[in-house]
Homo-oligomer: A and B are copies of this chain.
Amino acid sequence: MTTEPKLDIEVLFAELAALGRISEAEPPIVTRVVFSEADLRARAYVKGLFADAGLAVEEDAIGNTFARWAGSDAQLAPVGTGSHIDAIPNAGSYDGTVGVLGGLEAIRSLQRAGFTPRRSIELVIFTAEEPTRFGIGCLGSRMMGSVLQPAAALALSDKDGNGLEALRTQAGFAGTLESVALKPGRFHQFVELHIEQGPLLEQEGIDLGLVTAIAAPASLRIRIEGEGGHAGAKLMPGRKDALAAAAELILALEAAVKSTGAIDTVGTVGVCEVFPGAVNSIPSLVRLETDVRDIDAARRDGVLHALQDACADVSQRRGVTITTELVNADPPAACDDAILAAMESSATEAGKTVKRMVSRAYHDSLFMARVAPVAMLFIPCRDGVSHRPDEYASPEWIAGGVDVLARTLARLAG
């Protein structure tokens, strides 16, 4: 039997609420885009809690943050846990933050229990898991896993034209981007606690999900150039309306996703920007950002091909110019059997029910898998709702996850 963690769920809940109030929008709406003033305030708040717990904090050149609880054997590679604290516009208080503040409470609960780890335990805040600012998800872990190279990272900019280099420097992160990549063996194992962002655990009344694989996301950007003009004077036959073309592509993606017949295929157009965007002006330019995911990479790529075919068809039929850019199309990650077994034993010990499942959402663990064995631990979230202000996980659900995470860390680091 491992150490019995001594949780203080009230403190954790108060910290989650305090972090949720650090937002670019009015609470309960959480908007915390990477390198915004709110993101920097949130980082300062969480680093303060790390210091209170006696953890030694280091930051890398892109702002990934490592808080170390030193183990008794300094020669051994640490066990890692953690997640992200950035949030898309109009988000809630639990996505990512449960893995960071819950990871902290797991460490503190072991400290309270008098446990001493043999391996160090490192709690990580990953920079920009959300793609809001730079259009690419998991910026920090992608660079840690050498999936995004420094030169490609330097080419990134936000929609206002601010480059990554200027933004990270203004945010106070220095050093070469080359130094962000982790050497193999830097972490012995890595485990991430996260809300499910889906409905299954709650529907089935199961306490915890043991994630065996993380689905493979792909993002295609589509730019449609048509021809503008006066909405009253320009006749219909000569029109090259970029928004009408975009509408066809939005529906073509939906149809392609549904045509796979697989419940695990999902596709979304989340961004549709119209230029010039005036009621009496024919749209001359539309920018779409699409997101297609599946646990089966080939099926996902089939949807992307169908969307590309629709682009070619619409372009020819409507006389508009359509260019596409595949921003990312990552391979799925398999989780580590040893960590899964440790989580399962810990759950049994804590009296929690579990279910093995796949993660349809991607997470930083997808990229940490390139440099370390990983696994994820899911807790339920109400109605499967996420990326919305009414995102919610109950104190019981969170306490169950933190308890099992703490026991798992004790096993892995003990």
Contact = CB atoms under 8 A, between A and B. Distances in A.
Interface of A: 88-90, 95, 130-132, 135, 137, 196-199, 215, 217, 219, 228-238, 241, 243-244, 246-248, 250-251, 254, 257-258, 263, 265-284, 289-291, 293, 360-362, 384-388
A228 B388 contact: yes
Contacts of A273: 277
A228 B387 contact: yes
A389 to B, nearest CB: 9
B234 A217 contact: no
B291 A387 contact: no
B280 A268 contact: yes
A178 B237 CA distance: 43
10 contacts: A89-B278, A90-B275, A229-B388, A233-B386, A241-B254, A243-B250, A247-B247, A271-B278, A279-B290, A280-B291
Contacts of A386: 229-230, 233-234
B280 A89 contact: no
B279 A233 contact: no
Contacts of A250: 243-244, 246-247
A197 B254 CA distance: 37
Contacts of A279: 131-132, 135, 219, 268, 270-271, 289-291
Contacts of A198: 230, 233-235
Nearest to A90: B276
Contact of A270 (B257, B283, B384): B283
A183 B280 CA distance: 30
B217 A293 contact: no
A387 B266 contact: no
Contacts of A276: 88-90, 387
How many copies of this protein are present in the complex? 2
Nearest to A385: B229
Contacts of A269: 243-244, 283
Contact of A278 (B131, B241, B278): B131
Contacts of A361: 230, 232-233
B271 A235 contact: no
A270 B278 contact: yes
Question: Residue among A137, A228, A258, A284 with the most chain B CB within 10 A?
Answer: A228
A291 B231 contact: yes
Given A230-B386, A277-B271, A265 B236 contact: yes
Contacts of A290: 279
A270 B265 contact: no
B281 A387 contact: yes
A346 to B, nearest CB: 24
Given A272-B274, A279-B270, A361-B230, A236 B258 contact: yes
B215 A384 contact: no
A269 B286 CA distance: 12
Question: Residue among A217, A250, A362 with the most chain B CB within 10 A?
Answer: A250
B90 A132 contact: no
B197 A270 contact: no
A217 B231 CA distance: 10
Contact of A257 (B230, B236, B266, B280): B236
Contacts of A237: 263
Nearest to A196: B233
B270 A281 contact: yes
A132 B243 contact: no
A257 B217 CA distance: 39
